[in-house]
Amino acid sequence: MTATLTPPAHVLDLRTIPPRERHPLIFGCFDGLATGQALQLVNDHNPQPLRFQFEDRAFGQFEWSALETGPAVWRIQITRVADAAAAAADASGGSCCSGGACCG
């Protein structure tokens, strides 16, 4: 998938935020994004564990783009590409009954 970069709705410089507050803040900002809006993160290390959390928590709802990859600064853009309901419908084939087998 080719990333389409949109101007970020929020830029979070995580280097200035205590570590225990970072992920709740990031997910709170992401949850507030409308489809098509983006969040940009600036950090001093590779945020790969955060990406794994996004894949688990928001599968199908985001696009992850690495804008700068260290070694001193990492800049990531996370774009909301679908809301949770749309992502769930896509994952189930668009039906409440696993692909529509029970729907005439």
How high is the pLDDT of residue 101? 45
Domains detected in the chain: 8-91 (3.30.110.40)
Closest CA to 27 of 62, 1, 74: 62
- The fraction of the chain above a pLDDT of 70, given in percent, is 81
pTM of the model: 0.78
CA angle 5, 11, 15 (to 5 degrees): 125
